Amino acid sequence: MLLGGTRPTGDIDFGVVASEERWPEIEAAILAAADESRVAVQYSTDIDRWSSVAIPPGRFKTKRLRQIGRLSVHLLDPRCWAVYKLARYLDAAVDDLRSVLRRERLSPITLARLCGESLRVSPRSTQLFAFRRHVEHFLETHGPTVWGKRFSARRAVAAFQRAAKIGAR
């Protein structure tokens, strides 16, 4: 919802950067907060490993949201967030994608290129074919709703395929 999604979440995914000796204290605080708020948590020191689709090095970005004492809170950049949502492509994720991409006014070509680069640098797996189908389907089916009637699905899919260095199906 922080990025403009339309539904409340029942979980939160986040990365933690901390020294090794602080982990017991940090984990205890995370678990206590999760228990008190009744929100499921998933965290890691490397959130890029949660998906079989990887964001290229140097393209993974976050936006600083807030500083609370020594805690610095960052949100995943909407483009990177969209790559991970497209990798899973659940119905709820599609609704969130449509809302967030429209609200953030992200360029469809920029997103298509990042998706293509992500496909190209990811370790080979069966999930990559599904990711390709998800990206192409989202651009073709939901692109006009997100980016308006001047949006060209053909151009966006072509930009995705060029960045991925794959041919048209």
pLDDT along the chain (169 residues), means of 10: 51 75 86 84 69 81 79 82 90 86 93 96 92 97 95 97 88
CA distances for 130 relative to 42, 43, 78, 127, angstroms: 24, 25, 21, 5
Question: What pLDDT sits at residue 9?
Answer: 57
Question: What pLDDT sits at residue 17?
Answer: 77
Question: What pLDDT sits at residue 1?
Answer: 41
DSSP-assigned beta bridge partners for residue 11:
40
DSSP-assigned beta bridge partners for residue 68:
71
Contacts of 6 (CB under 8 A, 6+ apart): 95, 96, 99
Question: Both ends of the chain: CA-CA distance in Å?
Answer: 35
